[in-house]
Amino acid sequence: MLINHSPFERVTAITDVFMGSLSAYAAIQMSQFSGFKSDVWAWTFGLLAFSSFVAAIAHGFEMTQKTNDRFWMPINLSLGLVLGLFVAGALFDLNGEALARKSLPIMILIGFGFFLITVWKPGTFMTFIAYEAAAMLFALGSYVYLLYDSSLSSAGWMVAGISVTIVAAVVQATGKAGRAIFWYFDNNGVFHLIQMVGIVLLLAGLS
């Protein structure tokens, strides 16, 4: 495969590598702790790292549309599971381990269901945006409650991290791939830059 001729796609691929590396670091940091909560977040960041590295290939190299669609299948599956795990992690802090454990299989099934929708209708990006919005707004509401309830000392970091993640998602959804926001950064490249800030904030809250 040849390097993608589009400078926007190449920059997006590079930022995907950066975000994948940061996510992998976060996964390693969380894996150093023991317990159900740390396992959930380690898998969350680990799957995000995997999807970022695969997306770097999908964006960075010239390939047929059919081949590109095949690369996006594991990406969509990973992202669907990431959001499900994110909700389970929020439920742990909101209501304890018992509820989080009960919700985890359900959230994994929902994430897998999202993946099946993308297989049925490839390229339905707004489906992911709707799924992400529901998951992030639930998580944000949970941590805002915990912040004002003063029952979780790191709730402020989590609120900040989720808020930045939502901003990143809005930038990605409202922009247009291949149109410069600055230099050769399109909506996807800028999304990655903002999301990396969100990952740092979330890791600060979780650590």
CA distance 202 to 157: 6
Give the pLDDT confidence of 159-171 residue by residue, as tens digits: 999 999 999 999 8
Give the pLDDT confidence of 101-155 residue by residue, as tens digits: 999 999 999 999 888 888 887 666 677 778 888 999 999 999 999 999 988 999 9
182 - beta bridge partners? 185
State the pLDDT at residue 173. 84
DSSP string, 62-117: ---HHHHHHHHHHHHHHHHHHHHHHHHHHHHHHH-HHHHHHHHHHHHHHHHHHHHH
pLDDT, average across residues 97-102: 96
CA distance 78 to 39: 16
State the pLDDT at residue 115. 86
Q: Which two tokens stand for residue 145?
A: 């409650």
pLDDT at 175 over 80: no
Using the structure block, give the residue that is written with the tokens 């990655």: 192
* 176 three-class SS: coil
CA distance 10 to 48: 20
pLDDT at 1 over 70: no
Give the pLDDT confidence of 64-75 residue by residue, as tens digits: 989 998 999 999
The answer to whether residues 205 and 146 touch, using CB atoms and an 8 Å cutoff, is: no
- Range with the poorest average pLDDT among 24-28, 31-35, 194-198: 31-35
Q: How far apart are the first and last CA of the chain?
A: 40
pLDDT at 12 over 80: yes
Alpha helices in the chain (DSSP H): 7-31, 36-60, 65-95, 97-120, 125-149, 155-174, 187-206
pLDDT, average across residues 8-13: 94
Q: What is the mean pLDDT of the chain?
A: 92
CA distance 169 to 195: 8
The answer to whether residues 18 and 196 touch, using CB atoms and an 8 Å cutoff, is: yes
